[in-house]
């Protein structure tokens, strides 16, 4: 029977050691690339507007993730409040960019551990999926430390926008089973303008290389559900803003042509995007077709492509049934 590596780290005491190391860093916070230096242990807040306790905006069995994550029983998704990015088109902006509304959703570590067990035992989810975890890594490791003796045994998914600290990711080696990062931009110009992340490209690429070093290519169980590995998401943006050619060239050449990719066509001009001409429309069929052609050119054969029209049926609805993805791995080989 599959046993996540974090259980062994718990038995050896290494999980507790890492929790303490990470927690100490909150005293002059450098958990994400912004390195704000505030004392979150004492309630100070930096760019992410988050103090010591984790913020849980929602948790559910999510059936709209990639099929290997959602499976038949859903991905046990824990949506964390606030974010270390400020994407002007964020579809989840109500929970990522409204910190005042999120303060009331702080939970203690035991409560977060209980929610993991609820997703595992009551809802039967295939994994625990932390969404927007980059600014809450110490808190998540502390909660996992509490959850293991309570019976937690599911794979852990790190579902991130990609703006992650290399030093922080190294502390997650053996704790996280499945990494699910975005590779959102190939240009810091657009990352700065549309996500307030001026050094995004270097950080995201370094993060993906470290994630791949830790978990490698995707490994599935006999039911086709992910147990371990890297899945890189790439959201197609209008007007070439995502830099798809550069990003996919880099993935194939510097990570591996065998890496699993998830091409997302669900872009919708949410939040502030309707007032920004370059982002005020959905992607065109020609833009979609161009990115699919890049997969062929670079030999990226493992993964999924979101179906055309995903922007119509994949706006935030955390309980929506069905997969808006098309498996490309069988068709592209």
> For residues 180 and 201, what is the distance between their CA atoms, to the nearest angstrom?
16
Percent of the chain, pLDDT > 70?
92
Per-residue pLDDT of the chain (333 residues; tens, 9 = 90+): 789 999 999 999 999 999 999 999 999 999 999 999 999 999 999 999 999 999 999 999 999 999 999 999 999 999 999 999 999 999 999 999 999 999 899 999 999 999 999 999 999 999 999 999 999 999 999 999 999 999 999 999 999 999 999 999 999 999 999 999 999 999 999 999 999 999 999 999 999 999 999 999 999 999 999 999 999 999 999 999 999 999 999 999 999 999 999 999 999 999 999 999 999 999 999 999 999 999 999 999 999 999 877 655 555 442 333 344 556 554 332
> For residues 113 and 146, what is the distance between their CA atoms, to the nearest angstrom?
6
Alpha-carbon distances of 272 from 76, 98, 132, 191, 282, rounded to whole Å: 29, 13, 20, 15, 14
Whole-structure pTM value? 0.94
Q: Domains in the chain, please, with CATH?
A: 5-327 (3.20.20.70)
What does the pLDDT look like over 217-273, one tens digit per residue? Answer: 999 999 999 999 999 999 999 999 999 999 999 999 999 999 999 999 999 999 999
> For residues 313 and 329, what is the distance between their CA atoms, to the nearest angstrom?
23
């Amino acid at each position: 029977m599959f046993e996540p590596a974090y259980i062994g780290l718990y038995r050896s005491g290494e999980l507790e050691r890492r929790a303490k190391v990470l927690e100490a860093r909150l005293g002059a916070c450098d958990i994400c690339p912004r390195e704000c230096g505030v004392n979150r242990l004492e309630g100070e807040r930096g760019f992410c507007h988050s103090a010591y306790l984790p913020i849980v905006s929602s948790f559910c069995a999510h059936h709209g993730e990639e099929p290997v994550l959602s499976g038949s029983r859903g991905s046990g998704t824990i949506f964390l409040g606030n974010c270390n990015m400020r994407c002007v088109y964020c579809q989840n902006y109500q929970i990522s960019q409204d910190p005042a509304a999120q303060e009331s959703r702080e939970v203690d570590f035991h409560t977060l551990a209980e929610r993991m067990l609820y997703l595992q035992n009551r809802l039967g989810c295939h994994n625990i999926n932390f969404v927007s975890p980059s600014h809450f890594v110490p808190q998540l490791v502390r909660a996992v430390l509490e959850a293991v003796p309570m019976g937690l045994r599911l794979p852990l998914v790190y579902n991130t926008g990609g703006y992650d600290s290399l030093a922080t990711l190294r502390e997650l080696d053996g704790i996280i089973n499945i990494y699910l990062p975005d590779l959102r931009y190939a240009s810091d110009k657009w990352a700065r303008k549309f996500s307030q992340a001026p050094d995004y490209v270097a950080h995201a690429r370094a993060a993906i290389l470290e994630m791949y070093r830790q978990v490698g290519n995707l490994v599935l169980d006999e039911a086709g559900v992910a147990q371990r590995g890297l899945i890189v998401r790439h959201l197609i943006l209008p007007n070439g803003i995502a830099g798809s050619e550069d990003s996919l060239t880099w993935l194939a050449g510097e990570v591996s042509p065998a890496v699993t990719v998830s091409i997302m066509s669900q872009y919708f001009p949410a939040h502030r995007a309707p007032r920004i001409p370059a982002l005020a429309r959905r992607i065109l069929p020609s833009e979609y077709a161009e990115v699919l052609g890049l997969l062929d050119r670079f030999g990226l054969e493992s993964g999924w492509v979101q179906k055309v029209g995903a922007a119509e049926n994949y706006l935030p609805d955390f309980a929506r049934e069905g997969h808006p993805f098309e498996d490309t791995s069988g068709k592209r080989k």
